Amino acid sequence: MAIRKILTYPEKSLLQPSLKVDHIDDEIKKLVKDMGETMFDAPGVGLAAPQIGVNKKIIVYDFNAPSQGDDEKKQEFTALFNPEIIEASGSIVSEQEACLSVPDYSADVKRYERVKVRALNIDGKKLEFDADGILAIIMQHEIDHLDGVLFIDRISVLKRTMYKKKLKKKIKET
């Protein structure tokens, strides 16, 4: 396993739609292990393959994310292939949502309260599950990455412009 470099905005590849995974072989399984290790090292609760420069519809997420206060929680993650949201309902504000690919910034983002996700698991078996709360937010955030959408694309133009100006200034200084 290896920790991979996480790409950050304004990397253009983060804005590209990802390709469907046709089969899950040993190479893909190694990639998934690297993604899990990278996510926990960052630290984060979810990671999409495009964030490490792989243009495939793969996400991993912290299996224990809803219980963030537990200091002794195990580092377990789940991988999903070709995930898609097939139903969504309700409305919630994800307070101070952040992203490993958008460093040093967080914002309130309007999300669905509940989603139904269809995907393949690591064994290539089809699955569907309902998610609410933090898990629903993680699913929406990570699936957005597969569509080339960052959470800053879901905030007001003013806030997004302020972030971009701050980032340009930071880039000039380095």
Q: Which helix (H) or strand (E) holds 98?
A: strand 92-99
Q: What is the C-alpha to C-alpha distance for residues 130 and 112, in angstroms, rounded to an integer?
A: 12
Pick from 98, 91, 96, 102: nearest CA to 136: 91
Q: What is the C-alpha to C-alpha distance for residues 101 and 14, in angstroms, rounded to an integer?
A: 8
Among positive and negative, which fits the CA dihedral 67, 71, 73, 76?
A: positive
Q: What is the C-alpha to C-alpha distance for residues 45 and 31, in angstroms, rounded to an integer?
A: 17
Residue 172 token pair:
């000039």
| Catalytically annotated residue among 37, 72, 128, 142 | 142
77: which strand partners?
62
CA gyration radius, the chain? 16
Identity of the residue numbered 23: H
Assess whether 173 carries a catalytic annotation: no
Q: Indicate which residues carry an active-site annotation.
A: 142
